[in-house]
């Protein structure tokens, strides 16, 4: 059996697909959620979940939470006299979930689908996979949280050509994903988000209000007092979400202090956070090239979406009431469990195809030469963010100096126009024949697969010689021969649009009709031909397919007249 796991910033859940559909597996305390908290005592005993949470209030120096935000980084978290990475701490949570599932089933649990925020880059996704492996799990797939939620809602049963927006505000991260359904394909059109914005930020607002009203500098509080105050803030947030009031109490420097926040004051103080939420929304809509009225349904995911201000904000922003028919805390875990059943080809599940996108742009470092002025260190995008994968794109680059004998292809990931601000994945050094500046070109082709395999192929145009390098997830469960086979399967993607047979046929037909026509008709054909060529230059297969259909209709109309 393949279980589904929602490894959350605040809480984690594990689920399975049974006779009655997807179900949450209770933990050893009989609860559906396991707090993502780890604590270690003086004897080295490890605690995970609610027990660790209680212990953190008493022993904050040997406890840790919200470490998911640092996944994929080199940051170390000190628990007592030992240091741990975020993936190691996450592995303790995953192992605890695994043990709970094994106690529930009475047999070993070995395989899992683990969810991650859609906006996690490759490094964060790889770290999550390593955490699963450290916990003794075979991680069949890392699935984006919004995609998992879409599966849980059964969006693949909806009408074709439906666009959904998944609004995922969890404990520590925020994601916006725009998903489109056509036939049996759920295609992620765009993702955006903030890995440092979540329910914890809304809790911290109440921390701040308490301290301001009691004239306390919260940065002067010791770790234990700060932890107790944060717990009070969390309880106050839950009460406000339920329409109740709550008196926060905390003893600071021997003095008992209180504060009862009102909903209006709290919501006013959260306006800056709501403004931060607007940014990824605008970005995802722009990347997907759609407008607000085009969204057919908005789905809320994540515990923080239970706040009334969030639901009101979403309703006003999208001019529709969001769908909350599934518990926002559980949707991701349930969807991951359904994905596990799909992986096992469970007959109770309708087979669907899931596509994903590049969360970040892939490109290379280039030099720009204008009027004898050379500007170096610039970033040239090759596969843009939110490109549906698998994908392949080609960019032609030229030598900059006379008698230049090498071209360096620095493989980068990021969004800055300056190469130094982006993440360097690796480098290829390509020998080229010496000639005058600009006379030697290389075609740089990036091919990116859903398994996080990036193939970079550089062709020296004058000689035709090819240089190739593979960049893979070091924990990918594929042999070199399997990777080679997968890249061969994707070789069709490397054929430039102008060389693909369907497009060639259209171009040839257009050229023939142009030669057969005169006057206004000939001008119309030329304009339509240039428009189609312009779309082909984008190398976007979806845009090209749509443009080709329009172009064929136009040419058929010309031929019929």
Give the pairing type, strands 111-116 and 138-144.
parallel
Task: Check whether residue 117 and residue 236 sit in a common domain.
Answer: no
Yes or no: say if 320 and 298 are a contact pair by the CB < 8 Å rule.
Answer: yes
Q: Cα–Cα distance between 149 and 130 in angstroms, integer? A: 23
Which candidate, 476, 423, 481, places its Cα nearest to that of 453? 476
Q: How far is CA 222 from the centre of its chain?
A: 36
Q: Are residues 431 and 316 in the same domain?
A: no
What count of other Cβ atoms lies within 10 Å of the Cβ of residue 271? 11
Identify whether residues 486 and 504 lie together within a single domain. Answer: no
Rounded to 5°, angle at Cα 29 from 69 and 2? 65
- Is 127 found in the same domain as 43? yes
DSSP labels, 271-337: HHHHHHHHHHHHHHHHHHT--GGG--EEEEESGGGGSHHHHHHHHHHHTSPPB--S-TTTHHHHHHH
Whether residue 6 is found in the same domain as residue 129: yes
- End-to-end Cα spacing for the chain: 62
Tell me how far apart the alpha carbons of residues 547 and 313 are, in angstroms, rounded to a whole number.
Answer: 37
The pLDDT score that the predictor gives to residue 209 is 96
Rounded to the nearest 5°, which phi and psi values hold at 146? -65, -35
Same domain, 167 and 209: no
Per-residue pLDDT tens, the chain, 561 aa: give them: 899 999 999 999 999 998 888 999 999 999 999 999 999 988 888 999 999 999 999 899 999 999 998 998 889 999 988 899 999 999 999 999 999 999 999 999 999 999 998 878 778 888 999 999 999 999 988 888 888 888 888 765 666 678 889 999 988 889 898 988 766 667 788 888 888 899 999 999 999 999 999 999 988 999 999 999 999 999 999 999 888 999 999 999 899 999 999 999 999 999 999 999 999 999 899 888 888 888 999 999 998 999 999 999 999 999 999 998 999 999 999 999 998 888 887 766 665 566 677 778 899 999 887 767 778 889 999 988 878 777 888 999 999 889 999 999 999 988 888 898 888 888 999 999 999 988 999 999 998 876 667 889 999 999 999 998 888 654 444 455 655 665 565 455 455 666 677 888 888 888 888 877 877 888 888 889 888 888 887 777 778 888 888 888 898 888 775
| Same structural domain, 88 and 111 | yes
Same domain, 436 and 453: yes
With H, G, I as helix, E, B as strand and everything else as coil, classify residue 455.
strand
Same domain, 330 and 235: no
pLDDT at 473: 53
Check whether residue 146 and residue 276 sit in a common domain. yes
SS (H, E, C) 121-159: CHHHHHHHHHHHHHCCCEEEEEEEHHHHHHHHCCHHHCC
CATH number of the structural domain spanning residue 264: 3.90.640.10
Residue 75 · residue 85 · CB < 8 Å: yes
Q: Are residues 192 and 203 in the same domain?
A: no
Q: At what angle do helices 223-241 and 50-58 cross, to 10 degrees?
A: 130
Q: Considering 493, 508, 541, which residue would you say is the last residue of a domain?
A: 493
Last-in-domain residue among 236, 271, 306 = 271
| pLDDT value, residue 239 | 93
The confidence score (pLDDT) of residue 479 equals 54
Q: Are 497 and 536 in contact (CB under 8 A)?
A: yes
Give residue for tokens 């963010």: 385
Do 435 and 330 fall into the same domain? no
Q: Give the CATH number, domain containing residue 285.
A: 3.30.420.40
Domain encompassing residue 402: 362-493
Q: CA gyration radius for the chain?
A: 27
- The Cα 229–Cα 256 span in angstroms is 12
CA atoms of 283 and 171, how far apart (whole Å): 22
Quote the number of domains for the chain: 4
pLDDT at site 475: 42
Global pTM value:
0.69
Whole-number Å distance between alpha carbons of 156 and 136:
32
**CB-based contacts of 256, cutoff 8 Å, min separation 6:** 249, 250
Asked if 510 and 525 count as a contact pair (C-beta separation under 8 A), the reply is yes
**At which of 310, 326, 357 does a domain end?**
357
């Amino acid at each position: 059996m393949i279980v589904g796991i929602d490894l959350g910033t605040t809480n984690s859940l594990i689920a399975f697909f049974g006779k009655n559909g997807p179900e949450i597996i209770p933990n050893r305390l009989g609860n559906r959620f396991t707090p993502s908290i780890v604590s270690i005592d003086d004897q080295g005993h490890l605690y995970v979940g609610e027990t660790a949470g209680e212990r953190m209030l008493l022993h904050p120096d040997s406890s840790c939470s919200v470490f998911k935000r640092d996944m994929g980084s080199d940051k170390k978290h000190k628990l007592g006299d030992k240091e741990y990475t975020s993936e190691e701490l996450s592995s303790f949570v995953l192992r605890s979930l695994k043990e709970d599932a094994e106690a529930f089933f009475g047999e070993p649990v070995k395989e899992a689908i683990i969810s991650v925020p859609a906006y996690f880059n490759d490094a964060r996704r790889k770290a999550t996979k390593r955490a699963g492996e450290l916990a003794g799990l075979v991680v069949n797939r890392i699935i984006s949280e919004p995609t998992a939620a879409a599966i849980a809602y059964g969006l693949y049963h909806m009408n074709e050509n439906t666009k959904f927006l998944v609004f995922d505000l969890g404990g520590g991260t925020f994601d916006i994903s725009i998903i489109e359904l056509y036939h049996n394909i759920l295609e992620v059109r765009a993702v955006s988000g903030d890995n440092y914005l979540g329910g914890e930020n809304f809790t911290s607002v109440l921390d701040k209000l308490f301290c301001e009203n009691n004239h306390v500098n919260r940065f002067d509080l010791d770790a234990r007092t700060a932890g107790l105050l944060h717990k009070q803030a969390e309880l106050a947030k839950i009460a406000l979400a339920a329409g109740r009031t709550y008196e926060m109490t905390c003893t600071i420097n021997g003095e008992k202090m209180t504060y009862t926040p009102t909903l209006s004051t709290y919501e006013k103080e959260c306006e800056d956070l709501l403004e931060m939420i607007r940014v990824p929304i605008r970005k995802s809509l722009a990347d997907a090239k759609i407008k607000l009225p085009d969204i057919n349904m908005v789905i809320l995911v994540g515990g923080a979406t239970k706040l009334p201000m969030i639901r009101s904000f979403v309703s006003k922003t999208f001019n529709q009431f969001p769908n909350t028919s599934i518990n926002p805390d559980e949707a991701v875990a349930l969807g991951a469990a359904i994905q596990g059943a799909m992986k096992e080809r469970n007959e109770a599940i309708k087979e669907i195809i899931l596509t994903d996108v590049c969360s970040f742009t892939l490109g290379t470092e280039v030099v720009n030469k204008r009027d004898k002025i050379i500007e170096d260190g610039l970033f040239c995008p090759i596969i843009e963010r939110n490109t549906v994968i698998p994908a392949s794109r080609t960019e032609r680059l030229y030598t900059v100096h006379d008698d230049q004998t090498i071209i360096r292809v620095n493989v980068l990931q990021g969004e800055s126009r300056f190469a130094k601000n982006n993440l360097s994945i690796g480098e290829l050094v390509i020998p080229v024949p010496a000639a005058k500046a600009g006379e030697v070109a290389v075609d740089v082709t990036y091919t990116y697969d859903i398994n996080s395999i990036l193939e970079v192929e550089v062709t020296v145009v004058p000689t035709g010689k090819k240089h190739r390098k593979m960049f893979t997830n070091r924990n990918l469960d594929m042999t070199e021969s399997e990777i080679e086979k997968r890249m061969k399967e994707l070789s069709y993607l490397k054929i430039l649009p102008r060389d693909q047979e369907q497009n060639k046929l259209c171009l040839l037909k257009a050229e023939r009709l142009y030669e057969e026509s005169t006057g206004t008709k000939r001008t119309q054909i030329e304009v339509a031909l240039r428009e189609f060529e312009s779309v082909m230059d984008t190398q976007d297969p979806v845009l090209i397919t749509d443009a080709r259909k329009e172009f064929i209709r136009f040419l058929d109309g010309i031929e019929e007249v």
